[in-house]
Structure 1
Amino acid sequence: MNSATANVPTENGSRYLQQLCKHWSHSLDVDFTPEHGTIIFPRDARGADWDDDAKAVLKAEPENLAIRLEASSAEHLAALKGVLERHLDRFAHREAPLTFDWQAG
């Protein structure tokens, strides 16, 4: 399993977490509260042919949105990073682009 974490500086982490989770709850398995969210990306989501499901875990903190991604391959992980960044930047249009300091593992 490939994974990456990022801490995104923002005072609106809870708002963005909830917007993202609500947005994807119509088509993906999503569980969230104002402080914590989990999104499961099935292996066949959007026509992708990944080896396994992927997961995003989000945690809203007072001045930060913490993100952890898990995917079956480095390619899948890179694609998820891009999707998450684009969606969060869209929701955070007033302070976009957000800063994502991705770290392996």
Structure 2
Amino acid sequence: MMIAECRVETASASKYIAQLCKHFAHKITVEYDATKGRADFPWGVCRMTAEDGALALRCEGQDEAGLGRVKAVVEDHLVRFAWREKPTLTWTDAS
């Protein structure tokens, strides 16, 4: 199992969890509430947590390719949804 994590500084973490999960729910299984979310992609999983002043992301994949796809999809959508904040995602290996 490959795991990567990042923390995005934002006051809108709950809002972004809802936006991401609602958007992903059109094609995949998701679960979410105001403080956490989970998106089950064919290549892996992304867990989202609203923390004090930040959105914590944890992506998992069976291999490097799967992990890369999960990270790319989540990052692409978050950057688009949070365009006003211009978030920078710096992933760390948590495997």
Give the TM-score range, shorter chain. Answer: over 0.9
Paired position in structure 2 for 1:66:
56
- The alpha-carbon deviation at position 80 of structure 1 amounts to 1.7
- The alpha-carbon deviation at position 79 of structure 1 amounts to 2.1
Paired position in structure 1 for 2:16:
16
Aligned length: 94
SS at match of 1:11: coil
List alignment gaps of at least 5 residues for structure 1.
Answer: 44-53
Identity %: 37
- The alpha-carbon deviation at position 103 of structure 1 amounts to 0.8
Paired position in structure 2 for 1:95:
85
Distance in 2 (alpha carbons) for counterparts of 1:104 and 1:16: 23
- The alpha-carbon deviation at position 83 of structure 1 amounts to 1.3
AA at the equivalent of 1:99: T
- String of CA shifts for 1:9-66, please: whole Å, max 9, x gaps: 11111101100000011211100001000110124xxxxxxxxxx1100001121000
Stretches of 4+ moved more than 4 A in 1?
A: none
The TM-score normalised by the length of structure 2 is: 0.93
AA at the equivalent of 2:71: K
Matched, 1:76 2:66: yes
Distance in 2 (alpha carbons) for counterparts of 1:79 and 1:25: 17
Paired position in structure 2 for 1:57:
47
List alignment gaps of at least 5 residues for structure 2.
Answer: none
